[in-house]
Amino acid sequence: MAVIITDEAGRLLLTKRSAEPGLGLWCLPGGFIELGETPLDTLVRETKEETGLEVRPGEIVDAYAKLNGYYGDVVIIGYTAVVTGGTLTPGDDAEETVYFTLDKLPQMAFRSHKHFIEKHFRIKLEQQDEGKFH
């Protein structure tokens, strides 16, 4: 699960990872679905855990499959969400949470997240040396 959240200025919320894979790189808020949880439950929980923000799920951006990755075979679903409350505070496996303008995005940890950003905003990000992550 990966979540695209923007502020009123159109900036994109990213989290800086404090754990592998992608330690020190940036990504969309998100995480794995737990047993007994729906994808939308995961979106709300993971966003709150990593950013301190309460959100209302929006629309599916796309789905992305990564085979033989760090965690084995995974399917990542990209969603949009709208902030409804909370206070922006990094938590869980997020070292920092920052809103970035689209022209100044940092190096992304995961190709899947870059894909969701490009698809949602209909832009092409500059080529980055992003390693082998999903």
The residues assigned a catalytic role are 96
Per the listing, tokens 């894909």 go with 115
What whole-number distance in Å separates Cα of residue 124 and Cα of residue 117?
Answer: 9
Could you count the other beta carbons within 10 Å of the beta carbon of residue 34? 10
Sheet holding 72-86, edge to edge: 2-4, 72-86, 53-69
Q: Which amino acid is at 86?
A: G
Secondary structure (3-state) at 1: coil
